[in-house]
Amino acid sequence: MKKLILFILLIAFSFANAQKKELRNANKFFTAGEYSSAIDLLESSVDLFDSSDDKIKAQVMFLYGKLHTSMDDFELAIKAFDMSKNLGTSDQLLNPEINRLETAIITSAVGDNETENFSSAAVKLKLVYDLNTETNKEYLYYAASSAVNSLDYPLALEYYELLRDIKYDGIETKFFITEVSSGNEIEINSETEFNLLQKSKEYDNAREEDTDSKFPEIVKNIALIYKELGQKDKALAAIEAARLSNPDDVGLIMTAANIYFELGNKEAFKVAMSEAIEKEPNNPILYYNLGVVSSDLGEKDDAISYYEKSIDLDPTNENSYLNLVALILEGEQDIVSQMNSLGTSRSDNLKYDQLKESRENLYKQCIPILKDLIAINNNIEAIRTLMNIYGTIGDNAGYMEMKNLLEQQD
């Protein structure tokens, strides 16, 4: 019996030695940079390692993790390190390799973004977040941005909704200090260096500044993605949630207004745009947009007023000029129809002259608007319209001036 026990112990000892020998050889291949050879050796010894104790198995999986990291097989590396941890590998051994893995994934994702392989970058940056969901939240934010750039909106939505659920705000504290010699304010990258420089006489006016929260942007992006996916009801619900977190964000109000417009709810659009104007009363684009919708609703006087206000705030807004002229000239068709319906009686001739004068008054109302627009950058549409107006009212000099100017643009 004693001999049998001794024989079993010798077999076990022999297996243990063989396991350690193969593991050492695989590690040598890894150290030499022969990663494929190390993988092949581990794979060919799988039956041997399956019979080993947890300590050996943990070392094998630890080596697999290092190999997959070096070979950019990041998901396999994460699984290997997880298995190694579960088998008993200490954090003291694992953490440096996890840090190396994080760096490798981030470097690879940056390269993907630079080559516009945004889809791959998004997945990799999400892996970084998954490695440590407490400290790597910003990488989930970057992953969402890459997913948007790849036009993978469902994936971007998944990431942004996760950011919303964990209430990620991305607020960072920036450190600034002024060089006494130059008077230039510089940004300091670390709080430790910032604290040291404050003790130096070569610097003064130290200050800290928190960045804006990214949370409103995240919820706004959720709404925009729902809108892009055609799920406008969900988009509006997301915007309302976003506005609760930042009620003064004009961008959110305008996003809601645009969705109302696309849904055909122009009254709701006007309400939202009016609210935006209360927040930013000197924003010419807001007045322009209100002019467009008021015109569509048949509220001509309001539309004219909004376009004029937009021009007052931004005299270079060409679309406001063109829309204003088009709106004024809308009345021309009705006048022409009435003129064409008249007979040759004295009263009809009198009515014809009155309508002709009304038509010319519309043209004269447009002339200074078009001149102002042409003065900006010789807008071809404005030149052509003004040339036609001059031709209709018999202003030959004006007609030739615009004709020559139009030919100069070709």
Which pTM was predicted?
Answer: 0.65
Q: Which of the following CATH numbers is that of domain 19-114: 3.40.50, 1.20.1630, 1.25.40, 1.10.3210?
A: 1.25.40
CB 331, CB 315: distance < 8 Å: no
The mean per-residue pLDDT over the stretch 8-24 comes to 52
The mean per-residue pLDDT over the stretch 75-80 comes to 91
Res 11 pLDDT > 70 = no
The mean per-residue pLDDT over the stretch 138-164 comes to 95
At 103, is the pLDDT very low, low, confident or very high (cuts 50, 70, 90)?
very high
Question: Counting runs of H as helices and runs of E as strands, what totals does the chain give?
Answer: 21, 3
d(CA 335, CA 332): 5
Q: Which residue has the tokens 């799920």?
A: 231
Res 288 pLDDT > 60 = yes
The mean per-residue pLDDT over the stretch 44-64 comes to 71
Show the tokens assigned to 330. Answer: 């809308």
d(CA 365, CA 35): 80
At 158, is the pLDDT very low, low, confident or very high (cuts 50, 70, 90)?
very high
pLDDT at 101 (0 to 100): 93
pLDDT at 156 (0 to 100): 96
At 19, is the pLDDT very low, low, confident or very high (cuts 50, 70, 90)?
low
pLDDT at 8 (0 to 100): 37
Res 398 pLDDT > 70 = yes
At 18, is the pLDDT very low, low, confident or very high (cuts 50, 70, 90)?
low
Percent share of the chain, pLDDT over 90: 23
pLDDT at 220 (0 to 100): 81
Task: Check residues 14 and 54 and name the one with the higher pLDDT.
Answer: 54
Show the tokens assigned to 329. Answer: 């000239």
Q: Counting Cβ atoms within 10 Å, is residue 2 exposed (0-12), middle (13-18) or buried (19+)?
A: exposed
pLDDT at 4 (0 to 100): 42
pLDDT at 138 (0 to 100): 94
Q: What are the domain boundaries of the chain?
A: 19-114, 173-210, 331-409
pLDDT at 9 (0 to 100): 38
d(CA 332, CA 304): 16
Longest Cα–Cα distance of the chain, Å, equals 139
Q: What is the pLDDT of residues 171-221, one digit of tens each?
A: 888 988 888 888 888 888 888 888 888 888 888 888 888 888 888 788 888
At 383, is the pLDDT very low, low, confident or very high (cuts 50, 70, 90)?
confident
- The mean pLDDT of the chain is 84
Most confident of 4-13, 47-56, 99-108, 317-326: 99-108
d(CA 327, CA 313): 19
The mean per-residue pLDDT over the stretch 26-37 comes to 80
Residue 14's identity, in one-letter code, is S
Q: What is the pLDDT of residues 228-257, one digit of tens each?
A: 898 988 888 888 887 777 788 887 788 778
Q: Counting Cβ atoms within 10 Å, is residue 252 exposed (0-12), middle (13-18) or buried (19+)?
A: buried
pLDDT at 1 (0 to 100): 44
At 111, is the pLDDT very low, low, confident or very high (cuts 50, 70, 90)?
very high
At 395, is the pLDDT very low, low, confident or very high (cuts 50, 70, 90)?
confident
DSSP string, 299-336: -HHHHHHHHHHHHHH-TT-HHHHHHHHHHHTHHHHHHH
DSSP assignment letter at 183: -
CB 195, CB 176: distance < 8 Å: no
